[in-house]
Amino acid sequence: MSLFLWIPLLVPAACAAAAATRRQARWTRPLGLVSALVILVTGLGLLGSITAAGGEALNAAGDLFRVDALAAYLLMTIGAVATVALWADLSVPAEPDGWFTALVCAFLAAMTLAVLADNLGVLWVAIEATTITTAFLVGYRSGRRSLEAAWKYVVLGSVGVAIAFLGIVVLYAATRSAGHPTLSWVELVRLAPQLDPAVTRLGIALATLGFATKAGLAPMHSWLPDAHSQAPAPVSGLMSGVLLSVALYAVLRLRTISDLALGPGFMRGLLLVLGVLSLLVAATLTLTQRDYKRLLAYSSIEHMGLMAVGVAIGGTLATTAVLVHILGHGLVKSAMFVQSGRILRAEGSSKVADVVGLSARRPDLAGPLLLGTAALLGFPPFVLFFTEVAIIIAGWAAGLAPVMLIVLALLLLTFIGMSRQVLAMTLGPAPDRSVDDSTVARLPRKAQAPVTVALGAAVAAGLVALPAAAALGAAVTGLGVTP
Amino acid sequence: MTESLFAQTVATATGLLMLTAVLQVWRRSTDASTRLLAVQGAALALLVGAIGLAEGHAELVAVAVVVFALKGVLLPWVLARTIARSGIHREDSSAVNPVSGLLAAAGLATLAYAVSRPLVALDAGPAAHAVPAGLTLVLVGFLVLLTRHRAVSQVIGFLVIDNGIATVAFLTAGGVPLVVELGVLLDVVLVVLILRILSARLELAHGELDLHDLRELHD
């Protein structure tokens, strides 16, 4: 069984090596999708078998890898979101591009390693590796703007993550003085009550701030809109849809250690500040945004802020809601970046003002855009509606009513800003053009399928969340949260 | 290694680390900054080697050799090549003058001593007392990164931060587990190589590169 854990790591790595060596071969192009599907299937398999075994975690490679229900759930999410983004990329004909495929596969392998690792240090190395693999993907188009975005991304990302490493080092020093030097999650959770509180507080704060940079939380978010708007669409989808959540996963794990060592107040205060600040940044900048790819990037900051608030509240209801939100947001956001890439290709501009009357001219582009926006804004029956309500209710029950009112007000502002921009693009009559738009080729059904499937899955996720409660409950218990 | 020799070596190495960090703020020549970085890398390697010998860890002595090869030789060489190619020998785009830079560095060192009190209290050995030096390096690295706008200066700032974190790691805990240590070193080398490639491409697109010019993306 433990050999099984190597599959989601080694298959993408092998695909990356194959694509890098055979850069012109046609058969290398689907390798990204193959890796994504392998991760999805192993994630589902592991989640099923761990839940069936009553939440017993699996180990491999000594104690370096450990998969509990939470890790398996995230593995499945990475696979599902990557499948949407890369399937959509494949459904458009293009020349094979070995380096692109190789970097995407290596990126998937790095995220898998981050989730599989039982060791804070290995997790850190994996998250830094995601920066390294995505650096050239962000700067892929080699224009001035994408190079600028890549430079900011690498400098801010590496420095932020370096701060996280300083925090990890400090935590390691704390465990060493408690007589048992370790970076393993399991051991850290066991040792937590004996750790020196002053040193642990320093370590946890630094590590959380560092990983929060990578999760795109304000005030360390400034790289995100640049990187996510300049990267090619499938890469933006992957970065917004899962990379941010993988960084949040590190914060979720840190919260368990912090709660045991310092009590629940410390991490709650820190994350509430980061979360509400992110919601504030997103609300103000979506209101004035003029570029629709950046609009989606700010929507990611909004959702990460809300998830940070959910993690801050803690407890079974809020944590479960955050986990479901990660999946729902990942699916919808990757579909939306795919869709925005298609609009960009059809219209030739990423400015909101340059796209007019889309639903009259190109209903095939406007339909998914409107549906996806509704999903992101939290309309039922999409799953994000249920998770947002659950987070607010949990916060209210935890005695955070004033904060929840602020959160609701900021969500409403983002709602207004985002719906205004998207409606401006889609509604209204088609502009008078000499070219007859009815001759423009519509997207074939094959190319529409990935987006449709992702939006459908975002509805289904809300419906299957109750039957899957056992698996989710096991994932939450994996965090050491007591109901 | 005797106790007093160990204490002296640790003191010398951390003194060198602090000195190179402060001089980094003062000097404007990018060539000098690169040489200072090489000295800093060598001082870090000396520190790691001394801790390894004192605690009898052959593993740490091997890490010291790797640290010297990467941070004392390879990375400064890569930076020197970058400078030679781009022809930018002076940081002429710094936001602060040398005097206020030095004052800021002194303030940051004081802050580092204040913040690291709980860490120093963990352990009574000579190594733990040098922890504030590592944090000073981290803060000074931030200062360099925030106030200088030549691409190569920003890379130097990043490397000073990284040296500082490595110093704290070795002083407080004798280094993190080996697999993590090697992963971290590899990551740093890759980040520097990526930044070098990106800055070369940016120069092709922009001409001589001042990062103040990176203003196309904003809200």
Say how many CB pairs under 8 Å bridge A and B. Answer: 133
Of residues A161 and B214, more confidence is placed in A161
Alpha-carbon torsion, ordered A50, A56, A58, A62, to 10 deg: 180
Nearest CB neighbour to A151, from listed B183, B184, B214: B214
> How far apart, in whole angstroms, are the C-alpha atoms of residue A232 and residue B93?
33
Question: Omega of the bond prior to A219 within 30 degrees of 0, cis?
Answer: yes
Q: How confident is the model at residue B1 (pLDDT cuts 50, 70, 90)?
A: low
The rounded mean pLDDT for chain A is 90
| CA distance to partner chain B, nearest, from residue A54 (Å) | 32
To test the contact with chain B by mutation, choose from A119, A131, A170, A284 the residue with the greatest count of B C-beta atoms within 10 A, namely A170
**CA R_g for chain B:** 18
Q: Is the pLDDT of residue B213 over 80?
A: no
Interaxial angle between packed helices A69-90 and A315-347, expressed in degrees from 0 to 180 and rounded to the nearest 10: 10
In one letter, which amino acid is A42? Answer: T
Please give the average per-residue pLDDT across B123-137, as a whole number: 84
Tell me the shortest Cα–Cα distance from B217 to chain A, in angstroms: 6
Q: Measured between alpha carbons, how far is A1 from A53 in angstroms, rounded to an integer?
A: 13
Pair A120, A239: CB distance under 8 Å:
no
Give A440's pLDDT tier (boundaries 50, 70, 90). Answer: low
Separation between Cα atoms, residue A102 and residue A29, nearest integer Å:
9
Question: What does pTM read for this prediction?
Answer: 0.94
**Cβ-based contacts of A225 with chain B (< 8 Å):** 217, 219
Q: Which of A154, A177, A230 sits opposite B122 (nearest CB)?
A: A177
Tell me the average pLDDT of chain B. 88
Residue B210: beta bridge partners? Answer: B150
Question: If contacts are CB pairs under 8 Å, which of residues 164-183 in chain A contact chain B?
Answer: 165-166, 168-170, 172-174, 176-177, 181, 183
Nearest by CB: A154 against B138, B198, B201: B198
Task: For residue B219, tell me if it sits in a domain.
Answer: no
Percent of chain A exceeding pLDDT 70 equals 95
pLDDT over 80 at B57, yes or no: yes
The answer, yes or no, to whether residue A439 has pLDDT greater than 60, is: no
- Work out the pLDDT band at A466, boundaries 50, 70, 90: low
Q: Would you tell me how many other CB atoms lie within 10 Å of the CB of residue A381?
A: 12
Enumerate the residues of chain A whose CB falls inside 8 A of the CB of residue B113.
Answer: none
Contact between B143 and B25 under an 8 Å Cβ cutoff? The reply is yes
Of A119, A128, A183, the CB nearest to B187: A128
Which of B63, B194, B211 should be substituted to probe chain A, the one whose Cβ sees the most A Cβ atoms within 10 Å? Answer: B194
Residues of B in contact with A143 (CB under 8 A): 205
Answer whether residue B165 is part of any domain.
yes
Residues of chain A above pLDDT 90, percent? 68
pLDDT digits (tens, 9 = 90+) for A208-241: 999 999 999 989 999 999 999 999 999 999 999 9
**A150, closest residue in chain B (CA to CA):** B198
Determine the longest span between alpha carbons in chain B, in angstroms: 60
Q: Is the pLDDT of residue B40 over 90?
A: yes
pLDDT digits (tens, 9 = 90+) for A119-146: 999 999 999 999 999 999 998 887 888 8
**Cβ atoms < 10 Å from Cβ of B138:** 24
pLDDT the model gives residue A142: 74
Higher pLDDT, B135 or A91: B135
CB contact under 8 A, B202 and A147: yes
Amino acid at B218: H
Please give the Cα distance from B14 to A130 (Å, whole number): 32
Q: Determine the 3-state secondary structure of B66 from DSSP.
A: helix
H/E stretch holding A58: strand A58-60
pLDDT in tens, A318-331: 999 999 999 999 99
Cα A280 to Cα A413: distance, rounded to the nearest angstrom? 9
Say which amino acid occupies B70. Answer: L
Supply the pLDDT for residue A482. Answer: 42
Calculate how close chain B gets to A115, using CA atoms only, in Å: 16
End-to-end CA distance of chain B: 59
The size of chain B, in residues, is: 219
- pLDDT, tens digit, for every residue of A152-173? 999 999 999 999 999 999 999 8
Q: Which two tokens stand for residue B169?
A: 């790691």
pLDDT recorded at residue A483: 34
In which element (H, E) is residue A62 found? none
Q: Where are the alpha helices (DSSP H) in A25-143?
A: 31-52, 69-90, 98-116, 120-138
pLDDT higher than 80, residue B174: no
Given CB atoms, is B98 within the 8 Å cutoff of chain A? Answer: no
**Which chain B residues contact residue A289 at CB under 8 A?**
219
The pLDDT score that the predictor gives to residue B165 is 92
Inter-chain CB proximity A143 and B205 less than 8 Å: yes
A316: nearest Cα among A250, A260, A394, A264: A394
Judging contacts by C-beta atoms under 8 Å, the chain B residues touching residue A183 are: 176-177, 180
- B218 in any annotated domain: no
Report the residue from B173, B177, B186 with minimal CB separation from A173.
B173
Do the domain assignments include residue B75? yes
Q: What is the ipTM of this complex?
A: 0.92
Instruction: Give the model's pLDDT for residue B19.
Output: 94
Per-residue pLDDT tens over the stretch A300-315: 999 999 999 999 998 8
- Do the Cβ atoms of A360 and A427 come closer than 8 Å? no
Q: Which residue of B has its CA nearest to A181?
A: B173
d(CA A245, CA A326): 6
pLDDT of the residue at B208: 64
Q: What are the tens digits of pLDDT across the range A55-88?
A: 788 888 777 899 988 999 999 999 999 999 999 9
Among B118, B190, B206, select the one facing A196 at the smallest CB separation.
Answer: B118
Does some domain include residue B104? yes
Is residue A442 within a helix (H) or strand (E), and if so which, with residue range?
A: none
Tokens representing residue A414 in the block: 């983002």
Assign A176 to helix, strand or coil: helix
Structural domain count of chain B: 1
Nearest to B161 among A145, A150, A159 (CB): A159
Residue B150 CA to chain centroid, in angstroms?
17
* Interface check B180 vs A, CB under 8 A: yes
Could you give the CA distance from residue A129 to residue A98 in angstroms, rounded to a whole number? 19
Element (H, E) at A155: helix A144-177
- Residue A59 phi/psi, 5-degree rounding, is -115, 155
B184 touches A: beta carbon within 8 Å: yes
Q: What is the mean pLDDT of residues A339-360?
A: 90
Q: What is the DSSP letter of B71?
A: I
State how far the Cα of A244 lies from the Cα of A111, in Å rounded to an integer.
10
Q: Per-residue pLDDT for A7 more than 90?
A: yes
A114 touches chain B (CB under 8 A): no
Give the nearest chain B residue to A227 (CA atoms): B217
Residue A402: which residues within 8 A CB-CB, separation 6 or more? none
- Its domain, for residue B90, covers 3-213
Cα separation, A444 vs A432, in Å, equals 26
For chain A, the straight-line distance linking the first and the last C-alpha, in angstroms and rounded, comes to 30
Residues of A in contact with B191 (CB under 8 A): 128, 131-132, 154, 158
CA angle, corner A271, sides to A266 and A274, nearest 5? 135
- Which of A151, A154, A229, A294 is the best residue to mutate to test the B interface, defined by the most B CB atoms within 10 Å of its own CB? A151
Residue B110 has pLDDT above 60, yes or no: yes
- Check CB contact of A222 with chain B, cutoff 8 Å: no
- Chain A residues 447-466 within an 8 A CB cutoff of chain B: none
Lowest mean pLDDT among A185-189, A391-395, B160-164: A185-189
Q: How confident is the model at residue B85 (pLDDT cuts 50, 70, 90)?
A: confident
Q: Tell me, what amino acid is at A112?
A: T
DSSP characters over A343-380: HHHHHS--BGGG---HHHH-HHHHHHHHHHHHHHTT-T
| Spatial contact of B150 and B169, defined as CB atoms under 8 Å apart | no
pLDDT, tens digit, for every residue of A20-33? 999 888 889 999 99
Min Cα–Cα distance to chain A from B158, Å: 7
Inter-chain CB proximity A168 and B176 less than 8 Å:
yes
Q: In terms of CA atoms, which chain B residue is nearest residue A288?
A: B219
Contacts of B173 in chain A (CB under 8 A): 169, 172-173, 176, 181
